[in-house]
Structure 1
Amino acid sequence: MATGGLAAETSQPFVSFSRSRNWYANREANGDLTYDNVIHAMKTGVDAGLFEEDRARQGAHLDEVPRQSRFRATPLLIERLGDARFEHLRPASSIIMRDEAGVTVAIPDTERAQRIRKEADGLNEWLSGMRVEVSPDASPEDWQRSRHHLRARKVKDGVETWACALPTPSPEIVRIFGRGRFDCHGRLYGWWQSLPKDRRAELLINGELTVEPDFAMLHPTLLYAMVGATMPRDVYDTGEHERDHGKLALNIGINAKGGLKGAVDALMWRDGWTGTRTYTQGLVDAIAELNAPIAGFLGSDAGVRLMGIDSAMAVEVMKRCRKADIACLPVHDSFRVAAKSGNQVTAIMADVLDATFTRISSGTSTTKRQIILQVPRAGAAALAASPPVPAPVGAPAPSAASPAPRSLPWDPALRLDAMIAYQIGCARAEMAQDRRQGLYTSWTELEAAARRIAKSVCADENATGIRAFPIRIVPDRLGDTKKASPKLGRSRKVNLSQGKGRRPRVTPTEARA
């Protein structure tokens, strides 16, 4: 009844629910919302004239246009509820796992799951101490309030729409993973994300005006780093099409399946898209040509794993903000913070981006990274770009003349063989650990990634003349087992910056150098 009453305050009064007993299995987090209770309550409500049910046939959720049973509150229920207010109950879990079909499934009982849940619970505990409200200076024409909801006005291309949000007594997030894996999706969701960007700019955090630093072109930037290529200044501007269309084509294409054709199909099916098939095909081809190094990711369904990367970045940014005592609301790849802390949060984001580049980059990328600070200006968000962050280690520096060849204390070919063997060993250990946690990854992909990492690290070593790993970890040739001999009664000293790992561990400052 509460769900039906809340939905009746919005423009989408219907609430979907399942009539399949299997759907309710292994869902302890649902509490009393068991199959027997829901079906019995629905029948009782319909008989009493409180619910209007629209029942779907069995198996309709598998149709090309899926349907699920749904219901809505009748005028009688709305009248009976009157001015009653509902008590907010926090979700039973701060993390949710969904399968390929988007259906919620049980979260595996593993150490990794416990760590992620503890991490999200800690963020919610921190967020609960914040106060979020609409600025009293905001125009009443842009906001509407009901008993429970907050409606915000948005005008785009002359068309007015209203977004509806259900504020909670204190800010809270839930982290939602997909494909039954912890490396897919994983983004953080909170009620403020339902508001248009212009309206979010009118929110106050603890009574203070706010700004929203943003990672510019994040997913394309991550892809260029992965392949080690130079990114164009604007990955969306083809020079022949509207930039907004280019942005849609690239981002939708990265999330689509089926190659370039799948990218075109996904764009054609997008709500509100008015371009012809010929125009859309030309747009996708132009975007693929502009972004040739990453064109293979169009129609590759890479978006869900990129979201896994950016969600981990968001969690790290929030943890650092908590440590710095900066109130922060996540908005996927941007963060709503007090205006006085905008520059500090921008620096935190740059550090997190640097660390991510060090982890995923092939070592030859010259991609430039930008943090964009979104500031409201005359009813719209003004974009002010900060200076680009320097390229990661391995990026070629411009020079007037080529340097003389460097004399190396090792044979590059032999050291590459040893590096490949070491990285493949790390990959095997990583695969074994994943399998203990119920995750299965293709060995072919892991081996290929290990070889790429080995070649990248050796290229850096040959360019600098400095070993990334000491010879006691990666010898200069296979079969060379030289090791330092510790003195009797003393433990061998460990250099933390050169510990074991897929890549040498460096600080963000060293990574930017």
Structure 2
Amino acid sequence: MDMHSFNDTNENIDSETRDEPLSYDWRPTSPIDLAQIDQRWSKKQKKAAEAIIAQIYRVAVETPGRWISYSRTKAWWHKDRFAKTPYSYSIVTGIVQRLADNGLIEHDRRPPGERGRQSRYRASNDFMSRIAAEGFAVDYHPFSLLRLKDHNKNLIPYQETTWTERATKILKEINDATVAADIDCPNTTQIQRAKNQYHRIFNGSFNAGGRLYGPWFQNIPKGNRPSITIDGEATSEADFPSLHVGMLYNLVGGVPDGDPYDICGFERDAVKIAVNILINAEKRRSAYGAIHHGLAAKFGLKPQKLVHAIKKRHPRILRFFGSGAGLYLQRQDADIALQIIQSLLSKNVVALNIHDSFRVQEQHHGLLIETMERALSDYITSPAAGRKVLKFIGHKDETPPPSNAEVCLRFCPSDHETVHIPARTLSGSSDFESALERTGNCQGAALARALMTHLGAGAANSNTHPLGQEAIRRRIYAAADTVAVQPKPSTGMAA
């Protein structure tokens, strides 16, 4: 599949109007004189206080007036959201109260039991003059490189495994190289550029999400990226156009027909947003609601008509809409990104990751394109990658039905009419493409051979294919657009 046939962008820009959650990612570059606040501090309290003050300072400098939210509910803290840090319910609430009592913060303490909003605080007018003296600076030290979150985006603890240890080691190596590079951009501050390390965010399990977040260059306006320099040299960027749409088409053994967001009568930006909502939503009803609220007023369109046009444009991947596929695709594109970054680092080339795009020194642009194409090719030809997505989406079991099942696989190729393949044919012991021909289903046999050729090495015979007959059967079954029960007999093209 052509690398330039897909794109999926996620700017990951935090809203300046939204409260920033409490974090343990910032430290002062030199010790803070905490005696002016209180004489008594335990070792844990000192570490926690310095981290809290460093975050207050950074937020006050970057986005003056912005609040930092935190929970005063004991049950929230009992879930070990800040495991392996000095943060706890008593330590954090105690420090916040001390800062408020000393007039260093404005404290918006919410009543017990109030739902929907957490307590919050922000720097007072006296904070800078009393705490952040001349020369005060902070550094970014992410407390955890792998972060697992629940459906409410709250951190949840996890057990260390061989995989998490290996994943953390890989990210540390990438962060060390990124920190060592001199990455700069006009109109950015030292405190912005201090946030120069990645962490990965997973959603519910380590099979979902996993993209790289954190560094400042992910969060600047897209128009400013061309001004980024690495070690004083100009940079260039390359991305995967419509990545997630392309990945879904790959799962069903096809490729998008042209620009997947090009639909007559609708603005491309509106189509792109709607398609990604449909892919990410766990239910179609919630997707339709999100499209209505997010696009109707902005683009002046009727969401129902747009959704109908998208379904008509992409019948091959219709079954993935409202399946929650997006998070599992993110895990796959994160693995692709890590492969690209590691491969370039092995050649002493630092690549800045902005989810599905990468920026390198201009002299290495050709190498970047080559590395991206190779990584995408590895993904496309890996049956395991596709099976992972299909397994965790759970939208349709990919195991072929029993041989006596009265079911039929229905395929909707974009280049010709609908094709039916009886499931019992795929469950037979002989090569099923020959069995399809013997029953007169030449179109089914041709489609099966085309899918096998797409799956590897140009092999178009299930007996000799490197994946083996059973693996091929599973992939063909998974690629079906629908599974019909008790279908009408089919000997060729559907009527």
Question: Does the pair score TM above 0.5?
Answer: yes
- Aligned match of 2:126: 76
For 1:479-498, list aligned pairs within 5 A. Answer: none
> Are the aligned partners of 2:148 and 2:158 in contact in 1 as well (CA < 8 Å)?
yes
Give the Å deviation of 1:235. 0.8
Aligned-partner SS, 1:269? helix
- Aligned match of 1:430: none
CA distance in 1 between partners of 2:123 and 2:142 (Å): 23
For 1:414-429, list aligned pairs within 5 A. Answer: 414-415=429-430
| Match among 45, 61, 66 for residue 13 of structure 1 | 66
Cα deviations by residue, 1:31-88 (Å, 9 ceiling, x for unpaired): 2222111111111222222221223344555xxxx32221111112133234352331
> Are the aligned partners of 2:453 and 2:460 in contact in 1 as well (CA < 8 Å)?
no
| Match among 309, 312, 315 for residue 286 of structure 1 | 309
Aligned-partner SS, 1:75? coil
Aligned-partner SS, 2:71? coil
- Aligned match of 1:184: 208
Structure with more contact order per residue of length (Cα contacts < 8 Å, sep ≥ 6): 2
| Match among 446, 460, 463 for residue 460 of structure 2 | 463
TM-score (norm: length of structure 1): 0.64
Q: Is 1:67 matched up with 2:112? A: no
- Aligned match of 2:492: none
Q: Is 1:240 matched up with 2:265? A: yes
CA distance in 1 between partners of 2:57 and 2:312 (Å): 51
Aligned-partner SS, 1:262? helix
Cα deviations by residue, 1:238-272 (Å, 9 ceiling, x for unpaired): 1111111111111122112321x422211233399
TM-score (norm: length of structure 2): 0.66
Give the Å deviation of 1:462. 7.4
Cα deviations by residue, 1:197-251 (Å, 9 ceiling, x for unpaired): 2211101001110011101110000000011234120111111111111111111
Give the Å deviation of 1:11. 4.9
CA distance in 2 between partners of 1:96 and 1:104 (Å): 7
Question: Unmatched 5+ residue regions in structure 2?
Answer: 1-52, 387-412, 416-425, 433-447, 476-495
| Match among 144, 160, 174 for residue 109 of structure 1 | 160
CA distance in 1 between partners of 2:385 and 2:89 (Å): 50
For 1:151-190, list aligned pairs within 5 A. Answer: 166-168=192-194, 171-179=196-204, 181-189=205-213, 190=215
How many equivalent residue pairs? Answer: 362
Cα deviations by residue, 1:415-446 (Å, 9 ceiling, x for unpaired): 569xxxxxxxxxxxxxxxxxxxxxxxxxxxxx
- Aligned match of 1:298: 321
| Match among 56, 59, 62 for residue 4 of structure 1 | 56
Aligned-partner SS, 1:463? coil
- Aligned match of 2:91: 37
CA distance in 1 between partners of 2:373 and 2:459 (Å): 28
Give the Å deviation of 1:293. 1.1
Give the Å deviation of 1:100. 2.2
1:318 alignment partner AA = I
- Aligned match of 2:10: none
CA distance in 2 between partners of 1:362 and 1:110 (Å): 21
1:309 alignment partner AA = Q
Aligned-partner SS, 1:209? strand
> Are the aligned partners of 1:29 and 1:92 in contact in 2 as well (CA < 8 Å)?
no
- Aligned match of 1:123: 174
For 1:225-236, list aligned pairs within 5 A. Answer: 225-236=250-261
Question: Unmatched 5+ residue regions in structure 1?
Answer: 150-165, 364-395, 399-410, 418-451, 478-501, 504-513
CA distance in 2 between partners of 1:194 and 1:226 (Å): 31
Aligned-partner SS, 1:184? strand
Give the Å deviation of 1:298. 2.2
Aligned-partner SS, 2:118? coil
Question: In the superposition, relative to structure 1, how do residues 230 and 213 fare at CA in structure 2: closer, same or farther (>3 Å)?
Answer: closer
1:69 alignment partner AA = S
1:246 alignment partner AA = V
Give the Å deviation of 1:468. 2.9
Question: In the superposition, relative to structure 1, how do residues 104 and 126 fare at CA in structure 2: closer, same or farther (>3 Å)?
Answer: same
Give the Å deviation of 1:114. 1.2
Q: Percent identity?
A: 28
- Aligned match of 2:143: 92
Question: In the superposition, relative to structure 1, how do residues 110 and 53 fare at CA in structure 2: closer, same or farther (>3 Å)?
Answer: same
Q: Is 1:55 matched up with 2:70? A: no
CA distance in 2 between partners of 1:414 and 1:339 (Å): 55
Let me know the Cα RMSD of the aligned residues. 3.3
For 1:309-324, list aligned pairs within 5 A. Answer: 309-324=332-347
